[in-house]
């Protein structure tokens, strides 16, 4: 297998200023996204400029005090002979910015739980009965960087935390097109198509008061096989939880291990 597409892939590189494109104004249809509010745009506002809409979405995501999101994911793996093999899964995240996170990953290949309580990060593999805990930095965004750089672990749905930050490579976007309204899981969204070197991607953003991303599709154009990654997102903006949701208590029989470092100069284990 020579390549995979992952959910943090590259950089869904949205947000700020970039190519603008002409489009007819769209009517809005408000869907109930929860109890959160955003001060950056009036309720029901929509824009003919994809980048302006992405800006609004990023601002809204950063305004949330807590949220729960369920993602149904599809990923293409590319075999050595170029054939595409599709893998399906789900990701469930409970987030209380800036320093609480619970992630449950289920695919046909693996089952993982990530827990972050602001001080420690734990990864638990229930099927194998193993877990590992490492000291963690003070924010979710910094944790995502640490996992990628030190352990080659991709934080699921990482773009939810990086959109609208300096990590967004806005100048890489070469075109952005408004394709009009489209329903996703019964929610009326505006559909946008964007391009940048090596990637074509699409995002469906909920219309109305809650500009949430409801679907994302990424196509890797630098590979002749053009593998895709997609996720369909369902949101809860008023989740119920307590502090125990982010803390790990080893179940009976679980064995503690250490995470292998991605940088071999530090040795195989930490």
Rounded distance, CA 196 to CA 215, Å? 19
Closest C-alpha to 29, from 203, 171, 190, 159: 190
The pLDDT averaged over each successive group of 10 residues in the chain (270 residues) is 43 31 30 34 55 90 95 94 94 96 92 97 95 96 93 87 67 89 97 94 96 96 94 97 96 94 54
> Domains of the chain (ranges plus CATH)?
27-262 (2.50.20.10)
Residues 6+ away with beta carbon under 8 Å from 67:
34, 36, 94, 95, 235, 236, 237, 239
Query: What pLDDT shows up at residue 44?
Result: 44
Residue 166 has a pLDDT of 65
Neighbours of 224 (CB within 10 A): 9
pLDDT of 169: 64
Specify the pLDDT at position 36.
Answer: 33
What's the pLDDT at 266?
46
pLDDT at residue 269 in the model: 38
Nearest to 199 by CA among 159, 251, 160, 233: 159
pTM equals: 0.80
The CB density around residue 222, as the number of other CB atoms within 10 Å, is 9
Following DSSP, what letter does each residue of 181-242 receive, concatenated? Answer: EEEETTEEEEEEEEEETTEEEEEEEE-SS---EEEEEEEETTSTT--EEEEEEEEESS----
Please tell me the distance from the alpha carbon of residue 46 to that of residue 207, in angstroms, as a whole number: 7
């Amino acid at each position: 297998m020579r390549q995979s597409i992952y959910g943090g892939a590259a950089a869904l590189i949205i947000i700020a200023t970039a190519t603008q494109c002409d489009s007819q104004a769209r009517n809005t249809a408000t869907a109930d996204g929860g109890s959160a509010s955003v001060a950056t745009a009036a309720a029901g506002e929509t824009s003919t400029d994809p980048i302006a809409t992405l800006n609004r979405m990023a601002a809204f995501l950063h305004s949330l005090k807590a949220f729960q999101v369920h993602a149904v994911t599809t990923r293409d793996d590319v075999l050595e002979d170029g054939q595409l093999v599709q893998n399906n899964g789900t990701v469930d995240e409970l987030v209380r910015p800036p320093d609480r996170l619970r992630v449950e990953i289920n695919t046909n290949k693996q089952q993982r739980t990530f827990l972050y309580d602001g001080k420690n990060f734990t990864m638990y593999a229930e099927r194998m009965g193993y877990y590992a805990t490492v000291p963690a930095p003070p924010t979710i965004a910094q944790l995502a960087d640490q996992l990628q750089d030190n352990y080659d672990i991709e934080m699921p749905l990482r773009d939810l935390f990086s959109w609208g930050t300096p990590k967004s490579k806005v100048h890489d976007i070469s075109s952005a097109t408004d394709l009009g309204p489209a329903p996703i899981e019964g929610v009326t969204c505006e559909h946008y198509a964007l391009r940048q070197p090596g990637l074509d991607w699409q995002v469906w953003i909920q219309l109305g008061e809650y500009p949430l991303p409801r679907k994302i599709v990424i196509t890797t154009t630098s590979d002749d096989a053009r593998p895709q990654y997609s996720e369909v997102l369902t949101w809860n903006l008023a989740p119920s939880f307590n502090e125990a949701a982010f803390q790990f208590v080893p179940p009976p029989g679980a064995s503690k291990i250490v995470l292998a470092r991605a940088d071999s100069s530090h040795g195989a284990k930490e």
